[in-house]
Amino acid sequence: VTRVLVVEDSATILLLLRTRLEMAGYEVVTASSGAGALDALRDEQPDLVVMDVMLPGKSGMEVLAEMRSAGDETPVIVCTAHRDEADRSGAMAAGANDYIVKPIDFEELFEKLRGLLD
């Protein structure tokens, strides 16, 4: 079973993501802050991370930077509010493997998940 870590500070969106991912057959672990994400990465060893860019405390970008500098190459899909933000925030440059834009198109998300996990 593929384990996906979802990092998202909004409880409803977290619920939505968890529901859809579980419906699609993924095992889901969650975190709602940057620090929590780093803990979950260490404890849960996920196969893939779906992470919001805007997080309270440590931002998604910082988490990503810490992961990559620690040699953690787990694929990461960042979730941004606008297409431009993925480019402008430098998420792709910082080591994200892909991005999706809110409101989330789940078909697109699943396609990208499949692509990264193959």
Residues that bind other proteins (CB under 8 A): 10, 12-13, 16, 19-20, 23, 81-84, 87-88, 102-104, 106
User: What are the start-end ranges of the H helices in the chain?
Assistant: 11-23, 34-44, 60-69, 83-88, 106-117
Nearest approach in angstroms of CB 73 to other proteins is 26
Query: Residue length, the chain?
Result: 118
Nearest approach in angstroms of CB 37 to other proteins is 18
* Residue with smaller CB distance to other proteins, 10 or 69: 10
* Residue with smaller CB distance to other proteins, 70 or 81: 81
CA-closest candidate to residue 4, choices 34, 29, 35? 29
C-alpha to C-alpha distances, 15 to 10, 30, 112, nearest whole angstrom: 9, 10, 20
* Residue with smaller CB distance to other proteins, 1 or 23: 23
Question: What gap in Å lies between CA 54 and CA 59, rounded to an integer?
Answer: 6
Nearest approach in angstroms of CB 90 to other proteins is 11
Nearest approach in angstroms of CB 50 to other proteins is 13
